[in-house]
Chains A and B, each alone.
Chain A
Amino acid sequence: MIEPGTLPRLFAGVTNRPLSLEEHERVFQPADNVASLLEELEASGLVGRGGAGFPTTRKVDLLRQQRGHKYVVVNGMEGEPAAHKDNRLLSTNPHLVLDGAEMLAQMIGASRIAICVARDNPTVVNHVERAIHERARRNLRGPGIDLHTPPWRYVAGEESALVHWLDDNESLPQYRPGRPHILRIGRGPVLVDNAETCASVGLIGRYGAQWFRSLGTAEHPGSVIVSITGAVARPSVLEVNLGTRISNILATADADTSPQAVLLGGYGGAWLRGDQINTPYSNESLEQFKLSVGAGIIAVLPREACGIAEAHRVVRWMAHESARQCGPCAFGLPALAEDLLAVVRGGHDGVAALTRLQDRCGIIEGRGACRHPDGVVRFVRSSIEVFAQDIDSHLRGAPCAGARSKQRFLTVPALEHEEDLIWE
């Protein structure tokens, strides 16, 4: 039993190889205080860790009302290039994730569990495969678990794209006019949850809601795994108590503790200015800056970096990762990237590009089938706001030193040729 109020929880007992089923059961011995999974889940106040931050009980309730052959899909795609948390979790303790998925399946009455890991990550795929075999050998009763390996794309981790892949072998998001929308594989309703959410459900199912709430804040309870990249000695993955000050998280990770800004919530997220990093890391405290914890990403941008040049690189990559199904996303995002480039280059074109950029943000927002363009718009708007000074000096033709140096801090994968993009 893990003592209440202590860390690590999700990473308890980790070694440098994945915990076997026996080790896992030794470390996470169940306490006998969980009578009803559903009530405990509701009392725990768990919100999803995949980005949207939606209460998990509400999703479970919605699925419970559905009929048919139900599925639980574990989203371990890790679409964000700056994130490593799902990979780390699945390669240290895959059984905790599988436990949580089985509990979710039990709650909604699902007969199959599909766990999705990007095929570009063969080590993680192997670890998960082994864990599934281990469970099969011990003949655990319950839903069957399958491993699926879609190709890695940013939008392939979006829930409707993932379900589309499972249903029809195409990692493309689907059109969902009314929300909440029940995604389906064939005719079976699907519950999609992030791998870390499943692991947290696994903990709640063992130790109960009260134990779970011994960490975190009242409205955003529990612990969360954060991936810290950017101006750090070594990109790291930490499990933190929700409500810890961001500056303390940075100090623990050996990162730059007086940064220019930190990017929260990934490349579809937004920036927090360097003088605000004493804010506690939880949704209720970040709300005042219109930010959220999202997928648990903290990318640190040091003072010597040029924020607007970094923003351009990110937006160019995000535009490239569009599934190119919807006009406003396929044409709008590259246009945003071009405008940002004009701003970086400065001069007269830059001034015009800046106003155009703001107009285009308003035009693109909310017009894609998925939330990919909305995330890019949020990122662009926050970059314009937070790096207003940088933009000003670029437009006056005196860019900062950071723009001229070749050093870049945010991890952005290389662009592939459009014809090499694999969607199935």
Chain B
Amino acid sequence: MGVIRRTGMFILQVNPILCDGFGHCAELAPELVHLDEWGYPIISKEPVPMADLGSYESARYAERGCPRQALHVAKVNSPAPVSNVPLNLPRPARAVSRERRPL
């Protein structure tokens, strides 16, 4: 998988025209996506620090798992607020394991 960059931020973006509301993304990245009453993803527009590995991996899973290829993990170039991002984050509550995920 190569070296994972731990600096910078990312946003998960959805192309609303392509998205068909199947809702796979909410299963693949529950910490980033929740669904509205019609089944379309609501994703926060706030950048997430790359150092939050669990979220980043989920975002990549969702990007690859979206049947309409509507998701995109965009790297935000703004310098990361280093001070308030502890690099040794506690493990996410929901363990990131490959077995539990399709793809």
A residues near B, CB below 8 A? 173-175, 177, 325-329, 331-332, 363, 366-369
Residues of B within 8 A of A331 (CB): 38, 40
A177-B72, A366-B45 are contacts. A326–B38 as well, Cβ < 8 Å? no
Which of the 9-residue segments B9-17, B24-32, B54-62, B90-98 touches chain A?
B9-17
Q: How far is the CA of A2 from the CA of B29 in the complex (A)?
A: 63
A177-B72, A328-B36, A363-B36 are contacts. A369–B17 as well, Cβ < 8 Å? yes
B80 CB within 8 Å of chain A: no
Residue on A nearest B45 in the bound complex, by CB: A366
Q: How far in angstroms is the closest Cβ of chain B from A159? A: 16
B85 CB within 8 Å of chain A: no
Say yes or no: B42 contacts A177, CB within 8 Å: no
Partner of A177, one of B20, B38, B39, B74: B74
Say yes or no: A327 contacts B42, CB within 8 Å: no
Q: How far in angstroms is the closest Cβ of chain A from B38? A: 4
Residues of A within 8 A of B40 (CB): 326-328, 331, 367
Residues of A within 8 A of B18 (CB): 175
B21 CB within 8 Å of chain A: yes
Q: How far is the CA of A175 from the CA of B16 in the complex (A)?
A: 8
A177-B74, A327-B21, A328-B36 are contacts. A363–B42 as well, Cβ < 8 Å? yes
Q: List 20 A-B contacts (CB under 8 A).
A: A173-B17, A175-B18, A177-B74, A325-B17, A326-B16, A326-B19, A326-B40, A327-B19, A327-B21, A327-B40, A328-B36, A328-B38, A329-B16, A331-B38, A363-B37, A363-B42, A366-B45, A367-B16, A367-B42, A369-B17
Name the prevailing secondary structure of the B interface residues. loop
Q: How far is the CA of A115 from the CA of B42 in the complex (A)?
A: 38
Residues of B within 8 A of A368 (CB): 16
Residues of A within 8 A of B36 (CB): 327-328, 332, 363
Name the prevailing secondary structure of the A interface residues. loop
Q: How far is the CA of A122 from the CA of B38 in the complex (A)?
A: 40
Say yes or no: B15 contacts A369, CB within 8 Å: yes
Residues of B within 8 A of A326 (CB): 16-17, 19, 40
Say yes or no: A328 contacts B45, CB within 8 Å: no
Residues of B within 8 A of A174 (CB): 17
Q: How far is the CA of A331 from the CA of B39 in the complex (A)?
A: 10
Say yes or no: A332 contacts B38, CB within 8 Å: yes
A331-B38, A366-B45 are contacts. A177–B15 as well, Cβ < 8 Å? yes
Residues of B within 8 A of A366 (CB): 45
Say yes or no: A325 contacts B42, CB within 8 Å: no
Say yes or no: A327 contacts B74, CB within 8 Å: no
Q: How far in angstroms is the closest Cβ of chain B from A84? A: 31
Residues of A within 8 A of B15 (CB): 175, 177, 369
Residues of A within 8 A of B17 (CB): 173-175, 325-326, 369
Q: How far in angstroms is the closest Cβ of chain A from B90? A: 31
Given A328-B38, A331-B40: 17 more A-B contacts, CB < 8 Å: A175-B15, A175-B16, A177-B15, A177-B72, A325-B16, A326-B16, A326-B17, A326-B19, A327-B36, A327-B38, A327-B39, A329-B16, A331-B38, A363-B36, A363-B37, A363-B42, A369-B17
For the complex of A and B, 5 pairs with smallest distance between CB atoms: A326-B16, A327-B40, A331-B38, A325-B17, A175-B15
Q: How far is the CA of A325 from the CA of B15 in the complex (A)?
A: 10
Residues of A within 8 A of B21 (CB): 327
Residues of B within 8 A of A327 (CB): 16, 19-21, 36, 38-40
Q: How far is the CA of A332 from the CA of B21 in the complex (A)?
A: 13
Residues of A within 8 A of B20 (CB): 327
Residues of B within 8 A of A363 (CB): 36-37, 42
Residue on B nearest A325 in the bound complex, by CB: B17
Residues of B within 8 A of A328 (CB): 16, 36, 38, 40
Q: How far is the CA of A202 from the CA of B19 in the complex (A)?
A: 42
Q: How far in angstroms is the closest Cβ of chain B from A181? A: 13
Residue on B nearest A366 in the bound complex, by CB: B45
Residues of B within 8 A of A325 (CB): 16-17
Residues of B within 8 A of A367 (CB): 16, 40, 42
Residues of A within 8 A of B42 (CB): 363, 367
Residues of B within 8 A of A177 (CB): 13, 15, 72, 74
Q: How far in angstroms is the closest Cβ of chain A from B98? A: 29
Q: How far is the CA of A367 from the CA of B42 in the complex (A)?
A: 8
Q: How far is the CA of A328 from the CA of B15 in the complex (A)?
A: 12
Q: How far is the CA of A326 from the CA of B38 in the complex (A)?
A: 11
Q: How far in angstroms is the closest Cβ of chain A from B81? A: 21
Residues of B within 8 A of A369 (CB): 15-17
Q: How far is the CA of A326 from the CA of B39 in the complex (A)?
A: 12
